[in-house]
Amino acid sequence: MALVDIPLFIIDHSGSILGVIALSFAIFLLQQTEWSKKYGSIVGFKIGPQNAVVLSDYRHVKELFDKRGGIYSGRPEQYAGQQIICPDNIHMLLAQYGPTWRLMRKAMQGLLNINAIDALHPIQLAEATQTMSHLLDDPEGYYDHIRRYSTSVILASVYSQRGESFQSPKVQNLYNSQYRFSRILEPGATPPVDAFPFLRRLPEFLSPWRTEAKEIRQIQSSLYFNLVKETKERRSKHDLEPCFIEKLLDDQEKNGLNDAQIAYLGGTSMEAGSDTTSAALLTFVLAMTQHPESLKALQAELDRVCGTDRSPNFDDLDQLKYTRACMNEVLRWRPVAPAAVPHMLTQDDTYEGYVLPKGTIVFINAWAIHMNESEYDEPEKFMPERFMGNKFGCKNQDDSDDHRRITYNFGAGRRVCPGQRLAENSVLLNMAKMAWLFDILPISSEPIDTSIRTAFTDGVLIAPHKFPVRFVPRSEQRINVIQGDLERAKKFFARYKE
């Protein structure tokens, strides 16, 4: 692949480009995509003295992240996140690639193997049923009902607790903590203290971002340690369903994790599982309001497989090919992590004639990869059918590339999200139940905004802003089925602490 010379955009002391980054992460992301069209799929620039590179083609991600992961798995310096909020490599997302990160990653992979994830099906099924009941009773509150689902599943699987409503204290505390944490990690949320370290020495009254970071640390650590404390107390009373934290505590001598690492592994699981799942489901609802033909095709498949006497469950998923295609298209059309968390090169490297110095920040531009016109027919359109004939949804009918990923929402390389299967299970099940039970309709004939620039939240992870939608039950019989499912789910919920 031919590449033009890499343009270097220097951010000087006037902060001209930095101002764009600070204005909006989404705009910065779209600018990266425009750069890729103009200059090629590898674009270099500078953030102060810091070298940065954006990869906008899956082939580069495959070669550098997946095949050379040993040197592309570092994290850029992030003073607020790594030194103030989560010091000592305690947070796996921000931890530098090394022994501590590998220790935590090994423990996480042990918790999230295929058998362990599939053992969570009963939790996901019960919580999905609860969500459908919430949508029947209070369709206007759909936004929070969907967010409650993803958090409650993680609370149950990690801590043997649950959040019955979005107003549950632990659900609220998690979303408050996660919102503030993700916001302060965004480019431009703090002065360029990583590029210009002298700014760290500014006094507190000139650094409100530092005060915010300290408050986030207190809120975050208090939440995570208290959840572990409650789990220990219930464990000592033999009043605990199997959960991730129990497993980590039982194996603590063997896994070598200290108490803080265990607390933050649980917290990291909550952060990742809550945001990605709810964002994908909200995007699905948004897409269905604007694409009734896709909803009808989805409902036809669900009716054929499940009929009207029962709602979809995990045993059906292998037969629901169009449902999976819808999920893959949701994640392609509006990726929940359009630029992911950047990696850092830990030693000098060369690639396609370019010298990449140690310390270079490397971004995956998932948005540009998923919107590549040479790979996808009309990529701006929502078309689940593209995944019915090709597992990658692309024009090329050769789908044998075992290093290509269907989606880049979950990252790549050695730091790829280990919870992808868990998240996809939740998305598939809830999509299936929702479309089986409801017609998902717009409020009026006016088109709903679906632009990533204006209709979605800004940040490393994005989700649609709340939008008008109607959930219309397809029949009284289907309502009765869900009500029966809920009665059975209540017996299951009795095993979990609120």
Mean pLDDT of the 377-393 span: 95
Q: What is the pLDDT of residue 401?
A: 67
Instruction: Kindly indicate the confidence band of residue 324, based on its pLDDT and cuts at 50, 70 and 90.
Output: very high
Q: What is the pLDDT of residue 144?
A: 96
Look at residue 261 and tell me whether its pLDDT is greater than 70.
yes
Q: Which two tokens stand for residue 471?
A: 């959930």
Three-state secondary structure call for residue 364: strand
Look at residue 170 and tell me whether its pLDDT is greater than 60.
yes
- The domain segmentation of the chain, as residue ranges, is 78-335+413-493
How far is 432 from 428, CA to CA, in rounded Å?
6
Look at residue 293 and tell me whether its pLDDT is greater than 90.
yes
Look at residue 469 and tell me whether its pLDDT is greater than 70.
yes
Give which of 437, 442, 470 is closest to 131, Cα–Cα. 437
Beta-carbon contacts of residue 64 (< 8 Å; ≥ 6 apart):
55, 72, 349, 351, 362, 413
How far is 370 from 379, CA to CA, in rounded Å?
7
How far is 488 from 407, CA to CA, in rounded Å?
35
How far is 162 from 173, CA to CA, in rounded Å?
13
- Give the H or E element holding residue 343: strand 343-344
Q: What is the pLDDT of residue 497?
A: 73
Highest mean pLDDT among 138-142, 182-186, 267-271: 138-142
Give which of 284, 275, 267, 242 is closest to 429, Cα–Cα. 284
Mean pLDDT of the 162-186 span: 88
Look at residue 14 and tell me whether its pLDDT is greater than 60.
no
Q: What is the pLDDT of residue 1?
A: 31
Q: Considering only 14-23, 369-378, 447-456, 468-477, which range has the smallest mean pLDDT?
A: 14-23
Mean pLDDT of the 80-102 span: 95
Amino acid of residue 419: G
How far is 90 from 88, CA to CA, in rounded Å?
5
Instruction: Kindly indicate the confidence band of residue 127, based on its pLDDT and cuts at 50, 70 and 90.
Output: very high
Instruction: Kindly indicate the confidence band of residue 38, based on its pLDDT and cuts at 50, 70 and 90.
Output: confident
How far is 423 from 274, CA to CA, in rounded Å?
9
Tell me the pairing of strands 361-364 and 343-344.
Answer: antiparallel
Q: What is the pLDDT of residue 398?
A: 67
Mean pLDDT of the 130-149 span: 97
Mean pLDDT of the 339-366 span: 94
Q: Please say whether the structural domain 78-335+413-493 has been given the CATH code 1.10.1060.10.
A: no
Q: Tell me how far CA of residue 472 lies from CA of 31, 132, 272, 444, in angstroms.
A: 39, 12, 31, 14
Feature table: binding site: 417
- Give the H or E element holding residue 26: helix 25-39
Angle between helix 292-306 and helix 321-333 axes, rounded to 10 deg: 150
Of residues 10 and 181, the one with the higher pLDDT is: 181
Instruction: Kindly indicate the confidence band of residue 382, based on its pLDDT and cuts at 50, 70 and 90.
Output: very high
Instruction: Kindly indicate the confidence band of residue 19, based on its pLDDT and cuts at 50, 70 and 90.
Output: very low
- Cα-Cα-Cα-Cα dihedral sign, residues 197, 198, 203, 207: negative
Feature table: binding site for heme: 417
φ/ψ of 355, rounded to 5, equals: -95, 125
DSSP string, 419-468: THHHHHHHHHHHHHHHHHHEEEE-SSSSPPP--TTTSB--SSS--BPP--
Mean pLDDT of the 245-258 span: 94
How far is 455 from 334, CA to CA, in rounded Å?
11
CB 94 within 8 Å of CB 78: yes
Distance of CA 372 to the CA centre of its chain: 21
Tell me the pairing of strands 470-473 and 354-356.
Answer: unpaired
Which pLDDT tens digit goes with each residue over 397-424? Answer: 666 666 789 999 999 999 999 999 999 9
Instruction: Kindly indicate the confidence band of residue 159, based on its pLDDT and cuts at 50, 70 and 90.
Output: very high
Of residues 11 and 21, the one with the higher pLDDT is: 21
Mean pLDDT of the chain: 90
Look at residue 134 and tell me whether its pLDDT is greater than 80.
yes
Which pLDDT tens digit goes with each residue over 192-233? Answer: 898 889 999 999 888 999 999 999 999 999 999 999 999 999
Q: What is the pLDDT of residue 400?
A: 67
Q: Considering only 168-177, 296-305, 324-333, which range has the smallest mean pLDDT?
A: 168-177
DSSP state of 200: G
CB 64 within 8 Å of CB 55: yes
Q: What is the pLDDT of residue 30?
A: 81
Three-state secondary structure call for residue 79: helix
Q: What is the pLDDT of residue 26?
A: 66
CB 179 within 8 Å of CB 189: no
Of residues 4 and 462, the one with the higher pLDDT is: 462
How far is 61 from 160, CA to CA, in rounded Å?
37
Instruction: Please tell me the pTM assigned to this model.
Output: 0.92
Whole-number percent of the chain with pLDDT over 70: 93
How far is 183 from 211, CA to CA, in rounded Å?
14
Whole-number percent of the chain with pLDDT over 90: 74
Give which of 97, 53, 31 is closest to 361, Cα–Cα. 53
Mean pLDDT of the 95-121 span: 93
